[in-house]
Amino acid sequence: MGLTDIVEYLICPVCGAGFDLGDRVLRCAQGHAFDIARQGYVSLLTGSQAPGTADSTAMVAAREAFLGAGYFGPLAEAVAGACRTGAKVVADAGAGTGHYLAGALDRLPGAVGIALDVSKHAIRRAARAHPRLGAVVADVWRPLPVGDGTVDVVLNVFAPRNGAEFARVLKDDGVLVVVTPTSRHLEPLVERLGLLSVDESKERRVAESLSGHFVETGRSVHEFGMTLGHGAIEAVVGMGPSAWHTEPEVMRRKIMKLPETSNVTASFRMSIFQPAP
């Protein structure tokens, strides 16, 4: 079970103590207990406060179908290549189905992965994405249930950024890998289907969210073409932010009016950060 590999790096969200792994339960020294789901993940969400926006079952299924088909393969390779050689603990904040974290673990023999996402639907998938991956339901906007200075690499792919928490869990020589879409991402579908576009201030907001905690040490743009049929287009739309703002049937009708296949641009910016001195 993946949680066995990462339990030593987790902390209780109530009191901050470490955990022991029991029979289907994580229990801290103060007696706070969290049941392990039969799918192998654990939820460390606490309190009655509603968590941040979580991907729905349909969004998760769309993401698994699209990523599983390999359309974003070049990006997954780039993310894995950005992970520091010799890294032993990789955390993915906003891990989704665990696709990018699993790719990184494939490149890092012996490393373990902590998948963190607020969506239990996504984390169920992540729990079986890789044998060395442990899956945890957690809200990136809240304190992460991960110990201070325990992580070598934090991945943040199309997800919210909590600069203070990323800095806390990273080792002094750790690396933060942030991936965001550029304004060219999913051209020409954005215009043809009326999808949400990437606003011009995205890059500035990424920098501001990490300011004071991190220093950017590298940046690259990864852009490649994809040939997508109607089903793949429906999946890529259904897994992204536009899914929150469109009716599936309305979007399906729009997609059916497109040519049988469309040439679509995938375009991403990847930035590498290190903790500020």
pLDDT one digit per residue (tens) for the chain, 277 residues: 589 999 999 999 999 999 999 989 999 999 999 999 999 999 999 986 656 567 889 999 999 999 999 999 999 999 999 998 899 999 999 999 999 999 999 999 999 999 999 999 999 999 999 999 999 999 999 999 999 999 999 999 999 999 999 999 999 999 999 999 999 999 999 999 999 888 767 778 888 889 899 999 999 999 999 999 999 999 999 998 887 778 889 999 999 999 999 999 999 999 999 999 8
Domain edges within the chain: 38-275
Specify the pLDDT at position 254. Answer: 96
Beta bridge partners of 215: 274
Binding-site residues, in ranges, read: 12, 15, 28, 32, 72, 97-98, 185
Residue 181 · residue 198 · CB < 8 Å = yes
Q: Which residues contact 46 (CB under 8 A, 6 or more apart)?
A: 13, 14
Q: What is the pTM of this model?
A: 0.94
- Tell which residue, 59, 40, 193, 56, has the closest CA to residue 124: 40
In whole angstroms, give the CA distance from residue 250 to residue 145.
Answer: 40
CA distances from 276 to 33, 53, 89, 175, 212 (A): 35, 29, 20, 11, 7
What CA–CA distances, in Å, run from 132 to 98, 105, 114, 135, 261?
11, 7, 9, 10, 37
36 touches 24 (CB < 8 A): yes
Q: List, as own/partner pairs, every contact residues 38-41 make where C-beta atoms lie below 8 angstroms and the sequence separation is at least 24, other chains included.
A: 39/124, 39/127, 39/128, 40/1, 40/2, 40/3, 40/127, 40/128, 40/135, 41/3, 41/120, 41/123, 41/124, 41/126, 41/127, 41/134, 41/135, 41/136, 41/137
Residue ranges for the known binding site for Zn(2+) are 12, 15, 28, 32
CATH superfamily for domain 38-275: Vaccinia Virus protein VP39 (3.40.50.150)
* Binding-site residues from annotation for S-adenosyl-L-methionine: 72, 97-98, 185
